[in-house]
Structure 1
């Protein structure tokens, strides 16, 4: 079983992420990190505004997943976290969002 390793988060916030990954039906072990990486890769791509969901690609979430859905998963996770720990994750996501 893999688990999320988001180096920008404190150990307490990371523990909360891992707990929520196990208890939420829209996440999986390691899902938060995967969604964060997918969103960051999409936002930082030069042609990200031209992305069209054609349901093609390899079908593997980490490679060809929907970046907008990944961002929604992150939003759900931030809302489910405690205020203090949620702010930590929100800062990490906001540093990516600014490029969008």
Structure 2
């Protein structure tokens, strides 16, 4: 049975979602949905007890994600700097919640 994907954007404002959509459409290094996938990958990693086994950016098990958690976190930090101030604050709050799990 496939796992249900968490709604990582739940609780974020419509302004944030609009700014994120605009950013993903206008930057040539982002595709629509990249940030949501990176948030999901970072959430799964930060919330997983298996994270302690992660060495040198290689998962200790078969991972369905195509990027490492470190790459996901790096992308999210980059996006936080590219978003308008209020939206960036929202993303940083969400990242802090996930980082606290880590």
Using the size of structure 2 for normalisation, the TM-score is: 0.79
Unaligned runs of 5+ in 1: none
The aligned counterpart of 1:28 is 31
Structure 1 runs of 4+ with >6 Å offset:
none
C-alpha RMSD of the superposition? 2.3
Q: Deviations over 1:13-61 (max 9, x none)?
A: 1100011111223321011110000000001110202213348957x6x
When residues 21 and 79 of structure 1 are mapped into structure 2, their CA distance, relative to the original with a 3 A threshold, is same
- Are residue 10 (structure 1) and residue 10 (structure 2) matched? no
Alignment of 1:49-60 (within 5 A): 49-52=52-55, 53-54=57-58, 57=62
Unaligned runs of 5+ in 2: 1-6
- Are residue 85 (structure 1) and residue 81 (structure 2) matched? no
CA contact (8 A) 1:5 1:14 kept: no
CA contact (8 A) 1:22 1:29 kept: yes
CA contact (8 A) 2:58 2:68 kept: no
The aligned counterpart of 2:69 is 67
Using the size of structure 1 for normalisation, the TM-score is: 0.81
The aligned counterpart of 1:41 is 44
